[in-house]
Structure 1
Amino acid sequence: MLVAAAVVPCPPLLVPEVASGAAPELEPLRAACLEAVQELLAAGAELIVLVGGGPAAGVWTEGGAGSFHRYGVSRVVRLPSGGVDGPELAPSLTVGAWLLEQAGATTPTHACAVPVDAPTGRLLGLGQGLAELADRVGLLVLGGGSACRSVKAPGYLDERAEGWDAEAARALGGADPDALAGLDAGLAAELQADGRAPWQVLAGAAQGAGLSGRLRYDEAPYGVGYFVASWS
């Protein structure tokens, strides 16, 4: 069953080598992410599962590795306690593997990529299945809010973005799986919110788990809604 979860965004700029001169700007976000991951690891899960968006569905159960080469950085990270054979981790999961590395994780770890346009019902079912993989399962859920919070945002300014993000932040901070399940997939796509699909996997895994939540970070640097939450 699910015993804990950490919800973090996954911009490559979290990695200081990728952010370069902009690294100090994201230090509060980076610190909040690491604190959430450390709390997740402290929950005593037997298995950690990374869940993030990807161009296609994918599962890594025997380890895996990802790199930041596409950003001009010679940096490779791997999942804890596994090999490096098989396909490269999706970019979101690569950021998750980096966070686990920074936190000194040694817990057996799987990873799961979900298409950002996957239907809600399928995501909820996936989450329920992940929660049954071990007696004590922890999820590291990677994804962000809308990318339309300002005129300089990747998706430009959309007046609906702030309200959508506020609804998501309330659901994440309140550990409310029903509210996460109710997030509108079509609107999430229009607002370029890549966290909707991973969050709904969390919603499925958390059904009946009785977890409480804490919102650690809720800001929109660069016009993108970033949230960090801990469920335990």
Structure 2
Amino acid sequence: MLVAAAVCPCPPLLVPEVAAGAAAELDGARDACLDALGVLAVSRPDRLVVVGPAGAEGRGTHPQGAVGSFAGFGVDLRVRLGAGDAAPERELPPSLAVAAWLLERTGWTDAPVEALGVGEPLATDRCLEAGRGLAAGAERVALLVMGDGSACRTLKAPGYLDERATAFDAEAARALGAADTAALTALDAALAYELKVAGRAPWQVLAGAAEGARLGGELLYEDAPYGVGYFVAAWS
């Protein structure tokens, strides 16, 4: 059963070594993420599952001890998903590497941890099904859900400006802050793809996991630096 969830953005720029001289620009987002992870620790889960967007190479499950790297972003920095000496064949995709970095920052030892990388095109019904399966995996399950909003908020955004992006992000932020599983389920997957929303599938996995859990939510951070929607929320 799902007992808590934290929702965080997943840009590698969240890691100060990657952001370098611009690191201070995301201080507020980092602080909010750490606050959200504190909610997970207080929930005393039996199991923590990290969920984040992934390309073909990173889809599927990643065990505790899996390693990620920011070498692709010009930084010689490696992170490990929880404690352990596992030597998995695959590296963590960037979104899950950011999550592992956040967990290292908090010194996470509260419960065993594993990760699930989900593909951006994953249909809503399959996202919900995956979430239900995660929630049934232990008596007390917590989720750390990584994902960004639209990348089309400004002219300089990665996806250029799309006038539909602000409304989409506003509804996503409202749903995440209210722990509104129905609204997350109703997010338009086709529109999310057009707006380059990396978080749609992970958020809908969360919606499936939270069905019947009656969790309350709080939006801890909302902004669109670099023209990309970033949200932090805590559910408990």
Do these two structures clear the TM 0.5 threshold for a shared fold by scoring above it?
yes
Aligned with 1:210: secondary structure? coil
Matched residue SS, 1:157: coil
Which whole-Å CA distance do the structure 2 matches of 1:62 and 1:103 have between them?
Answer: 16
1:110 & 1:178 partners in 2: Cα distance?
26
Give the superposed CA RMSD: 0.8
1:8 and 1:140 in contact (8 A); partners too: yes
How many Å separate the matches in 1 of 2:145 and 2:64?
19
Counterpart amino acid of 2:30? R
The separation in 2 between residues aligned to 1:62 and 1:69, in whole angstroms, is 21
Percent of matched pairs sharing the same residue: 60
Partner of 1:220: 224
Which of 156, 164, 176 does residue 172 from structure 1 map onto? 176
User: Distance in 2 between the 1:41 and 1:71 partners?
Assistant: 30
Aligned to 1:52: 52
Residue in 1 that maps onto 2:205: 201
Give the counterpart of 1:100 among 78, 99, 103: 103
2:64–2:112 contact (8 Å) kept in structure 1: no
Contact 1:32 1:217 in 2 (8 A): yes
> What letter matches 1:32 in structure 2?
A
CA distance in 2, matches of 1:162, 1:229: 18
> Would you identify which runs of 4 or more consecutive aligned residues in structure 1 move more than 4 Å?
none
**Contact kept? 2:64, 2:81, Cα under 8 Å:** no
Secondary structure of residue in 2 paired with 1:180: helix
For 2:92, which of 83, 86, 89 is the aligned residue? 89
TM-score by structure 1 length? Answer: 0.98
Separation in structure 2 between the aligned mates of residue 105 and residue 22 of structure 1, nearest angstrom: 27
Does the 8 Å contact 1:78/1:84 carry over to 2?
Answer: no
Distance 1:62 1:18 in 2: 24
CA distance in 2 between partners of 1:41 and 1:73 (Å):
29
Q: Is the 8 A contact 1:82 1:108 kept in 2?
A: no
Q: How far 1:83 sits from its partner (Å)?
A: 2.7
Whole-Å separation in 2 of the counterparts to 1:191 and 1:105: 34
The answer on whether the counterparts of 1:64 and 1:85 sit within 8 Å (CA) in structure 2 is yes
Q: What does residue range 1-232 of structure 1 map to in structure 2 within 5 Å? A: 1-56=1-56, 57-86=59-88, 87-106=90-109, 107-232=111-236
Query: d(CA) in 1 for partners of 2:83 and 2:136?
Result: 20
Contact map agreement 1:3 1:45 (CA 8 A) in 2: yes
Cα distance, 1:62 vs. partner? 4.3
